[in-house]
Structure 1
Amino acid sequence: MIAASDSLAIAAPPLQPVSAPAGLGAVAAYWVPAARWEEARADWDELAAAAAEPNVFLAPGFALAARGAVASAGLGALLVTRDGLLIGLVAGRFHLLRSVFSLWTHDYAPYGMPLVRPDEAGAVIGALVSFLADQGVAALETPLLDAGPVADALEALAASHPTFVLDAHRRAVLTEAPPPLSKEHRRLARRLGEQGRLETVSTATGYALPAAVDAFLTLEAEGWKGRRGTALAATPATRAFFEGAVADLVPRGAAQIDMLLLDGRPVAAGLVLTAGARAWYLKTAYDEAFARFSPGLLLSRAIGASAIAAEGVRLVDSCAIPGHPMIERIWPGRMELTTRFIAVAEGRAGVRYRAALACRRGFAAAKGLAKRLLRR
């Protein structure tokens, strides 16, 4: 744990969580810039394993690797302790001239849940708001959160702090085995099998990780993401992120690369991450030479069936955009995700909060327009 004298120490108010006995003891909070996150690794690992709402994107191995591949200006984490025990880690960024603090999500982390011990959501959110008030921040943005203790604490906060819902949508998930493939997709699977020997392999069952990493990066780079320049192999930073994250998580059983091989040639590949009772189907790629057989869909259905059947897993998140034309046909479950924009100060919305909200809504509208134009 980083000592208070070595970081920005924030004395939190005498907060109590939702229920005892976890609420006994003094709460304190410390801001740790992203450049110093490694120093908190031991306590961070333990908290990630104990969190009431797991988030693999804040597993140290993933977050430390991602830090160098995405925008990191103003990035850090608020570490919240009770009598020296780490009870919460809230990663996020200051932006809009430090008027807004946003929980950390990015292109490779479509889930914003902070790491919080059971029964401590109220204490951690209270410490966060106190810290932000001391820093003169006007608004807290909480992107892509689902229902649970943290969302409940934010709803309680909304009773006295102006809150605007920037976005709410439903994402495809699995909470049980996916339905069987349609007649047409079974026909495509047979036709693909007629092209050669078809098999599914995984790093979880002994397939070599370096070969799987190279195969995934090659498939992605040769597809539409490569043409757009958004493939992981497109820059040294994003390639290093992917290689570093899987190298850390795979040996821990928190990640695996599954592939569909045809005569030993990869025709589809997918990355699955796991933390606690949840799995995330984060990345997928396929060989466009076999697109007529829908290898990506066939592998996605197989990955979902395997992931939800894994011991202890109760939900598999597709990480897909709303209305995704492939995954929503084969994964029937839905999870509500909400992005809130919360005033740090109590009472009526102040001028700085209203100005920040206007900027944020304008940015969202411009981003949405750009995506629609790219799809044309």
Structure 2
Amino acid sequence: MAQNATTTVSRTCPAGSAGLRLQPATSLPAYAAAVHDLAARALAPNPFFMPEFLGPAIEALGNGHVSLALIGSRERLSFFAPVVQRASIAPLRWASVWTHPFAPLGTPLVDREQGQAVVSDLIDGIGTAGLRSLAIPELPVAGAFADALRKATAGGNATLLGTADRMRPVLNFTAQNRQVASVALVPRKRRKKLNQQLRTLDREGTVRLTTATSVADAEEAFRIFAALEQFGWKGRNGTAMAQDPAILRFAAEVVRGGAAAGLVSLDTLWAGDRPAACLIRLETGGLAIPWKIAFDEELARFSPGKHILLKASDRWCEDASVNRVDPVCDADSRILELLWKPEASLASREHYRTLIVSPDRAAARTQWLWVSAHDTARSIAKAAVRRVRLRQSKEADLRKQNSG
């Protein structure tokens, strides 16, 4: 939801209160250790709600309007998520778990050992927290949290409504499919063509991959990423991180803090001493997110972006600590569509949607109507942007052909 149309939701509650509480975002440092502890035993992971990501995001994008929804105490939490409430409709007391273009995953952190009880407490606490309904956007429909919501509202004591689905490409690993994952994921002919491109790129300079995990290495790799992005199509469109000081500072802080916490890694594909592509990865609790990617467009004929994603995909296939990969992008993402094999047993297109829950059916219905209209408008706008980018890409390819 629009970041500039929100207002703070904050109530003062006892520190040891067991019910749902909404605290100001400034209290995040005080709860950081408890959030880390909860993340280690969460029903489902969400790296965007880790303090190392959430803190810089609130500072850069929250406009002072983000609150922290939690159940538990500073010593031990059982529920945690950032929330916002739209200022224009504040009297209606709707709230939404906070997602934004840099963090499109709304799954709250919930204690998995008490999952169903915590979700019931969440629903019961909506009213006592001063709200009438709560929306959870960008939520995997088949996920554990959505399932717990459905079970908690099955008895009719609360209303649960969902907006139209959006599809995402994801990878899910099991003990059975991991053994053949790398072979099954990328079609043989596609991998053969990519290997041929890689050998050709090697003539430009020895191809190698480096992975930055330490703070110093991650910061250096991020500078490379920012430069590649700025001199690519995002730079031409004015949307590169380096062109917005606040966004650049936010991303740099995420990389710095995330690397220190083991949350962030950066892969760089080199052709000799020339960086060809860079990938920023977020990984926690078995979930891997290829967050941002940039590549040298002068080397586009070698598909460096596909190569770095292929190498990351092969690593995830071999890494037993990763059981799910969510690229947090739409299912028609061109680079993933050209790389992953849709019919592979571990690759699928999953349903994501916004779920609205409330003890008051009328409140849930009203918020559902507003969210549905908002989502429709956003989908139309994104489709228009994709058409413009596709046209620009085709025009750029045509200019290259004519100049050659």
Report if TM-score (shorter chain) is over 0.5: yes
The residue aligned with 2:260 is 251
The residue aligned with 2:163 is 166
Letter in 1 for 2:41: A
The residue aligned with 1:370 is 381
User: Are the structure 2 counterparts of residues 356 and 317 from structure 1 closer, same or farther at C-alpha, using a change threshold of 3 Å?
Assistant: closer
Deviation at 1:288, TM superposition (A): 0.8
User: Are the structure 2 counterparts of residues 148 and 359 from structure 1 closer, same or farther at C-alpha, using a change threshold of 3 Å?
Assistant: closer
User: In 1, distance between residues paired with 2:379 and 2:167?
Assistant: 17
User: In 1, distance between residues paired with 2:14 and 2:215?
Assistant: 47
The residue aligned with 1:104 is 98
Is contact 2:211–2:268 with CA below 8 Å preserved after alignment?
yes
The residue aligned with 1:43 is 34
Question: Root-mean-square deviation (CA), in Å?
Answer: 2.6
User: In 2, distance between residues paired with 1:187 and 1:201?
Assistant: 21
User: In 1, distance between residues paired with 2:109 and 2:357?
Assistant: 22
Matched, 1:202 2:216: no
The residue aligned with 1:9 is 13
Counterparts of 1:89-238 in structure 2, within 5 Å, are 89-95=80-86, 96-98=88-90, 99-146=93-140, 147-159=142-154, 160=156, 161-174=158-171, 175=173, 176-177=181-182, 178-179=185-186, 180=188, 181-204=190-213, 208-238=217-247
Q: Deviations over 1:35-65 (max 9, x none)?
A: 2211212222222222231111111111111
User: In 2, distance between residues paired with 1:186 and 1:83?
Assistant: 51
Partner of residue 48 from structure 2, selected from 57, 73, 77: 57
User: Are the structure 2 counterparts of residues 133 and 311 from structure 1 closer, same or farther at C-alpha, using a change threshold of 3 Å?
Assistant: same
Matched, 1:276 2:268: no
Letter in 2 for 1:121: G
The residue aligned with 1:17 is none
The residue aligned with 1:20 is none
Instruction: State the TM-score, normalized to the length of structure 1.
Output: 0.86
Partner SS state of residue 321, structure 1:
coil
The residue aligned with 2:336 is 327
Q: Deviations over 1:248-285 (max 9, x none)?
A: 11133221110111121111000111112121111101
Deviation at 1:191, TM superposition (A): 1.6
User: In 1, distance between residues paired with 2:30 and 2:240?
Assistant: 31
Is contact 2:162–2:355 with CA below 8 Å preserved after alignment?
yes
Q: Deviations over 1:168-193 (max 9, x none)?
A: 23322233333354333222222211
Is contact 2:287–2:326 with CA below 8 Å preserved after alignment?
yes
Letter in 1 for 2:242: A
Matched, 1:242 2:251: yes
User: Are the structure 2 counterparts of residues 210 and 84 from structure 1 closer, same or farther at C-alpha, using a change threshold of 3 Å?
Assistant: closer
Partner SS state of residue 137, structure 1:
coil
User: Are the structure 2 counterparts of residues 134 and 11 from structure 1 closer, same or farther at C-alpha, using a change threshold of 3 Å?
Assistant: farther
Query: Which is richer in helix?
Result: 2
Detail structure 1 runs of 4+ shifted over 6 Å in the superposition: none
User: In 1, distance between residues paired with 2:278 and 2:263?
Assistant: 17
User: Are the structure 2 counterparts of residues 259 and 83 from structure 1 closer, same or farther at C-alpha, using a change threshold of 3 Å?
Assistant: closer
Matched, 1:339 2:353: yes
The residue aligned with 2:25 is 34
User: Are the structure 2 counterparts of residues 201 and 111 from structure 1 closer, same or farther at C-alpha, using a change threshold of 3 Å?
Assistant: same
Deviation at 1:72, TM superposition (A): 4.2
Instruction: State the TM-score, normalized to the length of structure 2.
Output: 0.80
Higher mean Cα deviation, 215-224 or 244-253?
Answer: 244-253
Is contact 2:123–2:357 with CA below 8 Å preserved after alignment?
no
Deviation at 1:335, TM superposition (A): 5.3
Deviation at 1:237, TM superposition (A): 1.4
Partner SS state of residue 300, structure 1:
helix
User: In 1, distance between residues paired with 2:74 and 2:241?
Assistant: 42
Unaligned runs of 5+ in 2: 1-9, 174-180, 342-346, 389-404
Matched, 1:359 2:373: no
- Number of aligned residue pairs: give it: 355
The residue aligned with 1:18 is none
User: Are the structure 2 counterparts of residues 149 and 206 from structure 1 closer, same or farther at C-alpha, using a change threshold of 3 Å?
Assistant: closer
Matched, 1:310 2:319: yes
Unaligned runs of 5+ in 1: 1-5, 13-25
Is contact 1:47–1:115 with CA below 8 Å preserved after alignment?
yes
User: Are the structure 2 counterparts of residues 197 and 44 from structure 1 closer, same or farther at C-alpha, using a change threshold of 3 Å?
Assistant: same
Letter in 1 for 2:283: T
Deviation at 1:151, TM superposition (A): 1.4
Partner SS state of residue 224, structure 2:
helix
